A and B are shown apart, each in its own frame.
Chain A
């Protein structure tokens, strides 16, 4: 029993990470209707930004308490990646705005490859250790269960970002514009929404979220390399689809489900004679099932194609 609860906790924290990345994915898709394949690579850049910021700033901030310096690094990395996201959108996606979605998908794949291989050129292929910004400690008093403070921080941050994002989209003027744009871009323009600004904002926000995800992920799994974004990116995307792509709470729910299922499969598959390596396929099996039986996702709205 204790082992099972430990596995559920493992899954919960893994799921929180997937959820965090999925938030950015789902928001960009919700507004622009296109799969930003490069999201996982911005996530990687976020982690590297954190790495270099830590290197550069730590001598200056040595005296500050750990949570404050951690927050400074996190916010700066988010800002850098937001700028980068806006730049990517401006250079690569904007010229394609009126083109078919598949063209944009291919461009996104191109951007993704570009970031990965440029990353390899600049950062090198070797993995690097991510610094412990906040010293890792196990939380005492849970009996035989093991949970670290970093894991809790990740979970709390995910929830906080989820709430903040929900607030931006639902309660602010920019959020209103984003929703209008996602519903009908032409009508939104006619109503005085500046589409370009809204799209840039969406990308900036999405990339900032990716950067936050990258840093938190790197704190949990302190080894970063240029290709680290591919797998979490794909799984986060599956999470977003599972929850109903474009739906913010759905992305969080999807992330948790994928994380927990994957953990349980890895932990228990051998009891029924399946190698635990099959866990890598689990996310995709879930994806196929959900799309076959409920294509709009768990919390998504059904969309009818208009003739």
Chain B
């Protein structure tokens, strides 16, 4: 009869939990000479590439701030937690950073789904949160402490739809990654604007991240003889979609969003992606000294890797936070929040950033094309 012992154990556990939990108020927040900033990024798991990039950008911003004397006379420490690209983890680590490390603000996540997990926690605890790259509109709707430094899906979808119409493409087919809310949103807003303004969607197919074979869907899309194909997912799959389009004799250009931005798109797709277009936060081609300077330094620190949009956004998120701390003169939550909210004309890598009343970055998108394996600037579209 070992049954009562089990319940016993459970009871004991609860007691232990009580004892263990109440006695902990670690002295976080560093000492008087440091400002602790938290970051949540996917450093491992399925979307690790984005997390690693944005982390590299953020870290670089912290190093630069410290090299030029820190903030308010203190050094900045960045504490990064990995959420393994897993649902549920982001919430836990956000709580950890806030309650254990006493961070003054939280930077992250790239993925909207995980940002939405952290946002209510930051809102409740009064810790400002800046997402570098979550483009889903819902993220900043959580509350007045949640900001982002990127544009949002409706804007990006509209930009691409406008661009397609301006080129005279009336028939566009759509490939959506149903596993990514980012892609679903982008496709949705593209379709809305495009059909309202005289375009026709001649095919609407979906796939899931991680897929490698798209020939069935593309064969179907070919039937509609599209002028262009919107591939709204991330570059991982887009490269293969481009290759398989050409293998099936589809010569229409592809259109996409900022999720395309990675050198690996061209490496995988090669010639197949030439002449396609995507909207992005910045262009590495831009000759502006601030951008070229950023690229040079980033390459130095990261074995010669060219920074992608995630890195630039990670950098901008930290720089905006840094500027706000300077402006507020304190790291206290409410004052810092107000300082971030009044960010205006911040000269970032991804454009001149002003935060609007919905706490979204108001800034132009650039459209890039792929030419001879390089991302070439085409035009800038203002909001």
Contact = CB atoms under 8 A, between A and B. Distances in A.
Report if A and B touch in the complex (beta carbons < 8 A): yes
Interface of A: 3, 6-7, 10-11, 14, 117, 120, 125-129, 136, 138, 144, 146, 148, 217, 220-223, 225, 227-228, 230-232, 262-268, 270, 275-277, 279-280
B289 interface: no
A7 B247 contact: no
B252 interface: no
B219 A267 contact: yes
B256 interface: no
- Looking at chain B, what size class is its interface with the partner chain? 35 or more
A125 B239 CA distance: 16
Closest 10 CB pairs of A and B: A125-B48, A266-B216, A221-B212, A129-B267, A277-B178, A10-B215, A267-B216, A263-B216, A277-B206, A129-B268
B205 interface: yes
Interface in B18-47: 44-46
Contact of B268 (A223, A228, A267, A277): A223
Contacts of A231: 210-211
A14 B219 contact: no
A146 B247 contact: yes
B216 A10 contact: yes
A225 to B, nearest CB: 8
A123 to B, nearest CB: 11
B48 A277 contact: no
A3 B44 CA distance: 41
A148 B247 contact: yes
Contacts, number: 106
B231 to A, nearest CB: 14
A270 B44 CA distance: 35
Contact of B247 (A120, A129, A138, A144): A138
Nearest to B248: A146
Contacts of B222: 3
Interface in B328-380: none
A188 B305 CA distance: 57
Contacts of A227: 46, 210
Nearest to A232: B212
A3 B239 contact: no
B268 A276 contact: no
Nearest to A147: B247
B267 A128 contact: yes
A222 B210 contact: no
B49 A126 contact: yes
